[in-house]
Homo-oligomer: A and B are copies of this chain.
């Protein structure tokens, strides 16, 4: 069984990439693999904004993150990338604020790193 890290590079307005990351992560877990971390980098940091609240006919982004969090996946917000983009990192709900170094160490130990953008 393999160890994965995933990273998300596009903003929450890219609904299509978000649902693909979610489905890939779910499929990993279903096949018995582990996901050591999902990392929000570049425009992906805006997923940690507290105000994402879309209409009912839109992708339920918050629920997807909530579900991945409940599966025990470490959801990491890159503090450097977030600060550069003016994101308030005080209240990142299901996300853990961490530095690049922590993520790079997780990535170095993983078997596979798959980027989503």
Contacts and interface: CB of A to CB of B under 8 A. Distances in A.
Interface of A: 11-13, 43, 46-47, 49-54, 61, 83-89
- A-B pairs, top 8 by smallest CB distance, nearest first, are A52-B86, A51-B88, A49-B86, A51-B86, A13-B85, A12-B86, A13-B84, A51-B87
Chain A facing B: main interface SS = loop
- Copy number in the complex reads 2
Nearest to A89: B51
A56 to B, nearest CB: 13
Contacts of A61: 86
B88 A49 contact: yes
A29 to B, nearest CB: 26
